[in-house]
A and B are shown apart, each in its own frame.
Chain A
């Protein structure tokens, strides 16, 4: 699979069109619309029960969809059973066949495709090298560690050159160090083979490390799809803003003049521009965008600000982290170089300020996830 002749940078395109999946009385996913580009590493990210695994199962063909359709390379696959979709799947629970050796496990998809014996052996050996388990052919799955088992599962899902590789929290059962090591390996293999990878995780850090693009799931719907920096810097919903990274949220009822808004927040007059919407709003600020000043005169020019109380000042070596109490009692978070907010201690009153364009005003959907 690794010879240059078979490396295709084009990969497979997967179109998910208005797909819904209902179970008796409940909805697993609702109106999912997503295009996975050829060769891209796309992560389905969301809390548990948000529909990301259901979406993967729909692509793999393990679950029938209730509405909409899915196309793989332009071909509708609604009526194609999973064993003829040609997709590789890696499961969180490894799903190695316990009664077969490593070699027989990896050769299984090749046997189904009637690959000649000698060719099977060659490809098994090759893919084992790729995942760093060369010479493990005759081991039994029970003799391997969790990380090794997942490497074998990964090899088994890749050996038949699937059109795309689907991974359902493949690193979820592993400890942190191993997880980080395997993340880098998965990323390397993705770059080497140039295939479409679809990855499911609830770990946003993992998603940031691996993905070209991330689709954020919540309550069975996709909240936003984009590259990680887009999601972080320009979240479109409060859920995305709070799920991706740390944030400080200022809530209020904005007044709109066209696309300009003003928001009174406990005496502070905040303003900015955004696509207008009705109802309560939340101004989302990232920790590194907030400055702290002990006196009103020290606030940098062009910043808008509000008064806060420092509740924690934490020295982190490379920088400093502050926790704040806002005027409405909610908490805020600031991270910056050591010089920023130097001298401020827990209990001090201060001014939090930021450049207006760094704030994102979003409809307040009541999500109060704190990360």
Chain B
């Protein structure tokens, strides 16, 4: 995914020539192979093999054929679950971005001590179990929970904050926020802030300097953070299971229901494969969009030159 991302949105890295003689290159080829071996074995054993098994089962359980796919595309419920999952993941991404962008910007412009504090605040959730955090949200969000009691003091509510999509979004945004903040911060920290000074010296208002110079240069961080959050959100299980509602199931819950509840391994596998294909299609679309954007820019420059 990272490679895809970089090829689509990353700054054009100069493709440096490979130094060294042919013999040296061959020697290094072996070293590279040996260095890659452990990771490659791990990936094959832990990811590729199960994936192939799941893909196989989607055609082979309970008997050979495409009946599982027929089942999936037959039911409006199934398509609905898939669309809801993509929609919730999209909303999670947008909300994360809305919170993370100003936060990461503050990290970039603040001094060392505040920056460290902000970074620690982002990292703290990583050190707490996902389960504990989700249960904490239940305590906070339930009808007689802390949040609704607080709102009650102002005569509001109780609002339905969990057992619905709202609860799922609150939980997922909280869990996934670091995955948006960190790539954003990384990209923003790489932006030369003196360029903003240059822009204002050339007559740009500070807001224009921000929009025309900072935002485009920080865009790779927006894209990588968004992809990280979106893809993880598509496959989230614990948070939707605990904070969501069985009537508004997401794909991961649905898989669990098929496999654990009904022993429908084939249908569970189909759902997994469909989710994977959805991710791949969306990634390809994002990459194509990035490329088209760059081509359009290049074309405009050429047209204007002509």
Contacts and interface: CB of A to CB of B under 8 A. Distances in A.
B217 A98 contact: yes
Interface string B85-111: 000000000000000000000000000
Interface stretch (B26-34, B193-201, B272-280): B193-201
A254 interface: no
A224 interface: no
Given A97-B213, A99-B217, A138 B199 contact: no
Contacts of A13: none
Interface of B: 11-12, 14, 192, 194-195, 197-206, 208-209, 212-213, 216-217, 301-302, 304-305
Interface string A32-66: 00000000000000000000000000001110000
6 contacts: A60-B201, A83-B200, A109-B202, A113-B203, A138-B305, A142-B12
B195 A82 contact: no
B304 A121 contact: yes
Interface string A121-164: 10000000000000001100010000000000000110010000
A121 B213 CA distance: 21
Contacts of B301: 101, 103-104, 138
A95 B205 contact: no
Given A99-B216, A137-B305, A108 B194 contact: no
Given A99-B216, A101-B301, A103-B301, A82 B200 contact: yes
B197 A62 contact: yes
Contacts of A83: 200-206, 209
A62 to B, nearest CB: 6
A88 B199 contact: no
Given A93-B194, A103-B304, A108-B212, 12 more contacts: A62-B201, A81-B206, A82-B197, A83-B203, A83-B205, A91-B198, A95-B195, A99-B216, A108-B202, A112-B203, A138-B305, A157-B202
A112 B202 contact: yes
B67 to A, nearest CB: 52
B217 A89 contact: no
A82 B206 CA distance: 10
Contact of B199 (A101, A108, A142): A108
Interface of A: 60-62, 81-84, 86-89, 91, 93, 95, 97-99, 101, 103-104, 108-109, 112-113, 121, 137-138, 142, 156-157, 160
A97 B196 CA distance: 9
Given A95-B195, A101-B301, A138-B305, A156 B202 contact: yes
Contacts of A87: 201
The interface residues of chain B, by DSSP majority, are classed as helix
Contacts of A121: 304
A98 B197 contact: no
A31 to B, nearest CB: 26
A95 B192 CA distance: 8
Contacts of B202: 83, 88, 108-109, 112, 156-157, 160
Nearest to A81: B200
Given A101-B301, A103-B304, A95 B198 contact: yes
A274 B152 CA distance: 86
Given A83-B206, A95-B194, A99-B216, A89 B201 contact: yes
A121 B306 CA distance: 11
A112 B192 CA distance: 21
A83 B213 CA distance: 15
